[in-house]
A = this chain, B = another copy of it.
Amino acid sequence: MAEPRFRRRKEDRPAEITAAALAEFSDKGYDAARVDDVAKRAGVSKGLLYLYFRTKEELFKAVVRSFVSPRIQALENGIRDTELSAEAFLRGPFLEFAKQIPKSPVRVLVRLIIAEGPKYPDLTKYYWDNVVTHGLSAIRQLIARGVRNGEFKASALDEFPQMLVAPVLFSVVWTSVFSKQHSLDSDRFIETNLEIILSAIRDTA
C-alpha cells in the first residue's frame, strides 16, 4: 500500500501495555480484567501482548515493577542526598511523598498486592525485596540520623518504622474501598499522624 501509517516505536510497546493493564486492573481488579481488553486499550493485538508478556501473571508483575519501584527509588535517593534535618525531611519531602500516594494511580497497585499477593508468592517476594525493604530501610536511616544528631530520642519508632507508613496504607485502603460512602481528608489524616509521632519522639530533654 502507498502510505505507511504512523507506527509507534517498538520500544514503547511494553510501557504502553503495562499502562493499559494498570488502567484495566484499576477498573476491574486482576481477575476480572480481561487480557483482551488490556490489548484493546493498548491499541495492540492480543497476540502481540503475549509476545511481550508470556502470561497474564507476568503482565501483572511487570505492572507492579514499572510503576512502584521508581517511586521508592526516588524516596531512597531523596533520603540519601538530602541536606535537611531529619524532622525537616519528614515534614517536607517525606510528607509530600506520603500524601500523594493515596491520590496517585499507584494506590491501585497497593490494593492489588493486598488482594492478589497471597496468590502470587513470587510477586509478593518481588514487592518485598524491591519496595518494602528499600522503603523501610530508608526510613530507618533517616530516623537513625535524627537520633544521632540529637533531634530524636530513642523510641519505638526505631523498632517500628512502619508507624510512619500505617496511616498512608490506611488512607489508600479507605479511599479505594469506601470512596462511595465517605471521603477521608487523607492529607490531614497523614499530616496529623506525623505530628503526633514527631511530638512523641522529639528529644526535648
Contacts and interface: CB of A to CB of B under 8 A. Distances in A.
Contacts of A32: 31, 119
A115 to B, nearest CB: 3
Given A170-B162, A192-B160, A200-B196, A177 B29 contact: no
A128 B179 CA distance: 11
B163 A193 contact: yes
A176 interface: yes
Q: Is the interface of A mostly helix, strand, loop or mixed?
A: helix
Interface string A163-203: 10111011001101110111010001100110111011000
B121 A180 contact: yes
Contacts of A125: 180-181
A118 interface: yes
A126 to B, nearest CB: 11
A174 B181 CA distance: 25
A2 B41 CA distance: 38
**How many identical subunits does the complex contain?**
4
B163 A119 contact: no
Contacts of A74: none
Contacts of A197: 196
Contact of A173 (B114, B156, B182, B188): B114
Interface of A: 28-29, 31-32, 111, 113-119, 121, 124-125, 128, 132, 156, 160, 162-163, 165-167, 169-170, 173-174, 176-178, 180-182, 184, 188-189, 192-193, 195-197, 199-200
Closest 8 pairs between A and B when the two form their complex, measured CB to CB: A115-B115, A166-B170, A31-B31, A156-B192, A128-B181, A117-B177, A196-B200, A166-B166
25 contacts: A28-B119, A29-B116, A31-B31, A111-B114, A111-B115, A114-B173, A115-B115, A117-B176, A118-B177, A121-B180, A124-B177, A125-B181, A156-B196, A160-B189, A160-B192, A162-B174, A162-B184, A163-B167, A163-B189, A165-B170, A166-B193, A169-B169, A169-B170, A196-B196, A196-B197
